[in-house]
Amino acid sequence: MSTARPLKSVDYEVFGRVQGVCFRMYAEDEARKIGVVGWVKNTSKGTVTGQVQGPEEKVNSMKSWLSKVGSPSSRIDRTNFSNEKTISKLEYSNFSVRY
């Protein structure tokens, strides 16, 4: 009998004042504190995008941070989540900033 919690994966895009405000660095720190893996990067259209994976409750905590908290100087107008699904194993070993 398995007691393993289901793993979730979700893609995200954060809109607002999220570039030039250390958003990626804070996202990386928060993800490590929460215990999720994935990545974050700036886009050419002024948003921040990425993917989060981990146990469902931890992914939900990171989704809340991406929607409501962000870095101290950021202003989050909205966050879109897509491709949310259950996965059998994590695809990443840590959370990293991509360029």
Could you say which of 5, 17, 42, 78 is catalytic?
42
| Cα–Cα separations (whole angstroms), residue 27 to 1, 5, 17 | 35, 23, 14
Cα–Cα distance, 20 to 3 (Å, whole number): 42
24 in catalytic set = yes
Question: What is the rounded distance in angstroms from the CA atom of residue 99 to the CA atom of residue 90?
Answer: 21
Q: Is 60 a catalytic residue?
A: no
Per annotation, catalytic residue among 24, 60, 78, 98: 24
Catalytic site positions: 24, 42
